[in-house]
Structure 1
């Protein structure tokens, strides 16, 4: 695949727009991240160009699905975690949208804090947080 504006070499993985033919690979990454992602919704995101993937050594090692400026799901293969792949996926999404919103559990709060998200406790939903990140 030819490099385009949307493609970016990052941390040993290339972040690019996902292809609808990669649904199974994307679902494997999301499942490995213990995310409850609906395959039909992910297929729609891929078809609409709203799913970014991180590719390394010819395989999908990370994925991020967007619904407008809302991050529906972001996950990285266990073997690639801690190498900046998730960070690069979020930054590529921010480059596309200019603003991102995400709801998440406390276990991943340090990840979103490290990226500069403004985080608020969702008192109506115990143990959940909402983060907002703006491209400034």
Structure 2
């Protein structure tokens, strides 16, 4: 359960909120600048479903970070992509975006876990947010064996999911 972790809020000059259709281009640009593969149609679908979060500057109103979540199973919310503008990195915006996704998972009674797949150099980032980490090989993902990608999972529901 996540109750033992204090999930971070956004920095004082940033709000985290669900993306609206007008945020689409900003979300795609931020993800592209982070070299994350993104399907524009999938982002549109996720915005419509309420599963894209943006970090917005309170000063300018501009989008400074974005998170796209998917629902690969009815009981799981998966962080598919998270990125922050280069000039704003290292200030807690990415952590606040993931924490907001975890809060969304906690508020949805159907969601048992929030998951993420990420590069090994992000291990400490996800561990600090309370995720349990395992390698893809340990998770049994034969498609990516030998990669340095990790899987993270944070249980948010009343029972542990597989």
Quote the Cα distance in structure 2 between the aligned partners of 1:111 and 1:122.
Answer: 17
1:119–1:129 contact (8 Å) kept in structure 2: yes
1:94–1:134 contact (8 Å) kept in structure 2: no
Quote the Cα distance in structure 2 between the aligned partners of 1:49 and 1:122.
Answer: 28
1:118–1:131 contact (8 Å) kept in structure 2: yes
Off by >6 Å, runs of 4+ in structure 1 = none
TM-score, length-normalised on structure 2?
A: 0.74
Quote the Cα distance in structure 2 between the aligned partners of 1:112 and 1:94.
Answer: 12
Quote the Cα distance in structure 2 between the aligned partners of 1:80 and 1:110.
Answer: 19
CA RMSD of aligned residues (A): 1.5
1:72–1:102 contact (8 Å) kept in structure 2: yes
1:110 to partner: Cα distance = 2.1
| Partner SS state of residue 10, structure 1 | coil
Structure showing greater Rg: 2
Aligned to 1:77: 85
Q: Any stretches of 5+ residues in structure 1 without a counterpart? A: 1-8
User: How many residue pairs are counted as aligned between the two chains?
Assistant: 128
1:134 to partner: Cα distance = 2.5
Aligned to 1:90: 98
1:40 to partner: Cα distance = 0.9
Aligned to 1:3: none
1:112 to partner: Cα distance = 1.0
Q: Any stretches of 5+ residues in structure 2 without a counterpart? A: 1-8, 72-76, 107-112, 158-162
Greater length-normalized contact order (CA 8 Å, ≥ 6 residues apart): 2
